[in-house]
Amino acid sequence: MDIIETIKDQIASNTILLYMKGSPNAPQCGFSARAAQALMQCGEKFAYVDILQNPEIRANLPKYANWPTFPQLWVGGELVGGSDIVAEMAANGELQTLIKAAVEKATAGAESNA
* pLDDT exceeds cutoff 60 at 114: no
Separation CA 37–CA 57 (nearest Å): 22
Query: What pLDDT, on the 0 to 100 scale, is given for residue 1?
Result: 77
Over residues 44-71, mean pLDDT: 97
Average of per-residue pLDDT values in the chain: 95
**Does residue 53 belong to any structural domain of this protein?**
yes
**Does residue 114 belong to any structural domain of this protein?**
no
**Does residue 70 belong to any structural domain of this protein?**
yes
Query: What pLDDT, on the 0 to 100 scale, is given for residue 5?
Result: 97
pLDDT category of residue 50 using cuts at 50, 70 and 90 = very high
Separation CA 18–CA 72 (nearest Å): 6
- Structurally, the chain folds into a number of domains equal to 1
**Does residue 45 belong to any structural domain of this protein?**
yes
Percentage above 70 pLDDT, the chain: 98
**Does residue 19 belong to any structural domain of this protein?**
yes
Sign for the CA dihedral angle at 57, 61, 62, 63 comes to: positive
**Does residue 32 belong to any structural domain of this protein?**
yes
Can you give the residue range of the structural domain that contains 84? 3-109
Kindly give, in sequence order, each residue whose CB lies less than 8 Å from that of residue 38, ignoring residues fewer than 6 positions away: 86, 87, 89, 90, 95
**Does residue 57 belong to any structural domain of this protein?**
yes
Q: Report whether 71 contacts 83 (CB < 8 A).
A: yes
Query: What's the CATH code of the domain at 37?
Result: 3.40.30.10
The 8-class DSSP code of residue 21 comes to S
Query: What pLDDT, on the 0 to 100 scale, is given for residue 113?
Result: 66
29 to 40, 46, 98: CA distances (angstroms)? 16, 19, 24
CB atoms within 10 A of CB 91: 10
* pLDDT exceeds cutoff 90 at 112: no
